[in-house]
Amino acid sequence: MMNRRSLLQGLSLSILSATMGVSPRHGEAEDAPEVGDQPVTSADRLRIAVIGPGSRGKELIRQFLRVPGVEVVAVADVYELRFLQVNELVGKAVPAYKDYRQMLERRDIDAVVVASPPLFHAQHVIDSIQSGRPVYGEKTMGFTEEDNYNIVNAVTQSGQIYQVGHQNRYAPWFQEAIRRIHEGEIGEPTHVYAYWFRRDNWRRNVPDPNLEHLINWRLYRESSGGLLEELGSHQIDVANWIFGEQPQTVLGSTSIVLYNDGRTVGDNVQAILGYSKGRRMIFSSLTDNAFMGDQLWVYGTNGSVQLTVEDATFYGSIHHTITGSDHTDAVRRGVKTGASYNYAADDEMPYRGPGKRIDARKAEDPTLTACRSFVHCVRTKTQPVADVRVGFGSAMACTTGKNAVFEGSMKNVPQWKPPAA
């Protein structure tokens, strides 16, 4: 069972210093203060502005408004319909801008949430940071290799707070499971199999054909990395977390089997990501069958773990190993005889027995925890867990991987390098 402190792991890791580089992440926050819905004072007021209040942006607004003291003071989007939706969501008229740069000129903004399509992340994140505001940026961090390096440089050179929207980092059952994996509970983790299956054409209805690319940007290569980027980036982040590094290679494949509607990204994607020591992550996404849902399996040399959006379950090693312990009793005392009627399935059959589930019944939505954590980091000037290096790790795998997927090729993933001075 997790305690409240571990639930809130990662609210702060280190005091932000003037010379802050990209400091080591993934540590435990034993000194993190316990925060909840404590009464707030005006000093705790935090005014956020949102660039890109589409479906994900609106969900982030909902979550941020569950954090005491947070107000939404402005939004920016090129699609004006969003403004009415935001007003309904927030319950009042929120100042709205078609040009986000005008919005950033406001003096009453304490932090910026970037939830625009990934194609624009670098522009929006960097401009927001250069306006002097901490940024909560949705995944995937950048759209191109250059974008990723530019964001890293902007964040580190400014010393500003940047948190990427990889909320699994804030899910207590993910934290607990990965802590136990790192402690060796399933031996050496060697493979991560990630599934994200849906039964959904991924297409939004468009009131005007001229808006097709604006609304259905996920379906076109010039604005989207497809399923690998939009879904797989979260799971790649988990694999990076488990393996403690970013992948070195990506082998990709994609096709369209059902939705021949003019889209240029596939409706199914497979990718194999190579890590050091021969370790692998296999990502598979379908959109014509939802059977597997969103789940990861972590396979180790002595057990397996299933990670889902609601829980984590550990399974011991299925095949017994010869332990090499002292068996002299078999000679000294002899062996016992009796009936042998226990049925065992063929050892090539998949295991269908129970596992040991991590109790996550008291866990809130990880996106809420992530938003709460960001607010805490801004108020206390501390660095988030899902920082720019976390964002870089999955983003670079996606920016390279989508090309591997589109081409059906294998590519090397550019690695982290110290930010420019």
Partner 1 sequence: MSYASSFHERPPTPPVPAFAPDRQEELPGALPLYSFSTPAMGTEFTLHLYSSSQDKARSIAGAAFEEVHRIENLLSHYRPGSELSRINREAFDHPVTTDPETFQFLDYAFAWSARSEGAFDITVGKLMKAWGFFGDTGRVPTPQELSSIRSQVGWRNVCLDPDRRTVRFLVPGIELDPGGIGKGYAVDRVVRVLQDEPVPASLISAGSSTLYAIGSPPGEVGWKVRVPVPGKPGHILSTVLLRDTSLSTANYTEKRFLDRGHLYGSIMSTETLLPIESVLQVTAVAPSATDSDALSNVLFALPTHARASLLDSLPAVSALVLTPEQETAQPEAVRWPAPIAKEDCECSTMMEED
Interface residues with partner 1 (CB under 8 A) are 36-39, 55, 59, 62-63, 65-68, 89-91, 200-205, 207, 259, 261, 310, 360-366, 368
Closest distance to partner 1 from the beta carbon of 117 (Å): 18
CA angle 284, 286, 291 (to 5 degrees): 95
**In this complex, which beta carbon is closest to partner 1, that of residue 39 or of residue 324?**
39
Closest distance to partner 1 from the beta carbon of 66 (Å): 5
**In this complex, which beta carbon is closest to partner 1, that of residue 22 or of residue 171?**
171
Q: Which two tokens stand for residue 59?
A: 């969900």
Closest distance to partner 1 from the beta carbon of 191 (Å): 28
Long-range contacts of 141-147, Cβ-Cβ distance < 8 Å, separation of 24 or more: 141/388, 141/391, 141/392, 141/394, 141/395, 142/118, 142/395, 142/399, 143/118, 143/119, 143/225, 143/399, 144/399, 145/396, 145/399, 145/400, 145/414, 146/122, 147/121, 147/122, 147/395, 147/399
**In this complex, which beta carbon is closest to partner 1, that of residue 36 or of residue 278?**
36
Cβ–Cβ contacts within 10 Å for residue 210, how many?
8
**In this complex, which beta carbon is closest to partner 1, that of residue 188 or of residue 200?**
200
Closest distance to partner 1 from the beta carbon of 202 (Å): 8
**In this complex, which beta carbon is closest to partner 1, that of residue 67 or of residue 271?**
67
SS3 call for 233: helix
**In this complex, which beta carbon is closest to partner 1, that of residue 78 or of residue 81?**
81
Distance CA(288)–CA(271), nearest Å, equals 18
The rounded radius of gyration (Å) of the Cα atoms in the chain is 23
Distance CA(393)–CA(96), nearest Å, equals 33
**In this complex, which beta carbon is closest to partner 1, that of residue 101 or of residue 362?**
362
Closest distance to partner 1 from the beta carbon of 64 (Å): 9
Closest distance to partner 1 from the beta carbon of 171 (Å): 9
Q: Supply φ then ψ for residue 420, to 5 degrees.
A: -60, 145
Closest distance to partner 1 from the beta carbon of 63 (Å): 8
Distance CA(74)–CA(133), nearest Å, equals 14
SS3 call for 20: coil
SS3 call for 46: strand
Q: Pairing mode, if any, of strands 135-137 and 162-164? A: parallel
